[in-house]
Amino acid sequence: MMSGPAVRVVLAEDSTLLREGLVRLLDEAGFEVAGAYGDAEQLLADVGRARPDVAMLDVRLPPDFTDEGIRAALRLRRDHPGVAILILSQYLESLYAEELFASGQGGRAICSRSG
């Protein structure tokens, strides 16, 4: 368990099972889940109210399941620069990380390939 104020997290994941599992894990670890959404547009619409410290986004989200999570992360970086961003994906595509970090605002990318 963490001490001090809980880190506020929002997350966007289209898989209900994975989304609810992440919420439970985060809650049990002492994080405050300020919002859990099935798509990036819902997260972006609510991020001002939720005031998260961290946003977790899947790369591929509805409606097209291409790069909606990355595009949302870029908007977050522009509109809410104080929010840390964690990208979740089972796909290894370095272009996504390069695009997100191209602004020079810092950050760290750790990529791993599953399956």
Residue 72 lies in a domain: yes
Q: What is the CATH number of the domain that holds 63?
A: 3.40.50.2300
Does 110 fall in a domain? no
Number of domains in the chain: 1
Residues of the chain with pLDDT > 70: what percent?
A: 76
- Higher per-residue pLDDT: 8 or 4: 8
pLDDT digit string, tens, across residues 40-84: 999 999 999 999 999 999 999 999 998 899 999 999 999 999 999
> Which DSSP letter does residue 7 get?
P
What's the whole-model pTM score? Answer: 0.78
Domain that holds residue 57: 8-101
- In what helix (H) or strand (E) does residue 37 lie, and over which residues does it extend? strand 32-37
Helix (H), strand (E), coil (C) string for 20-51: HHHHHHHHHCCCEEEEEECCHHHHHHHHHHHC
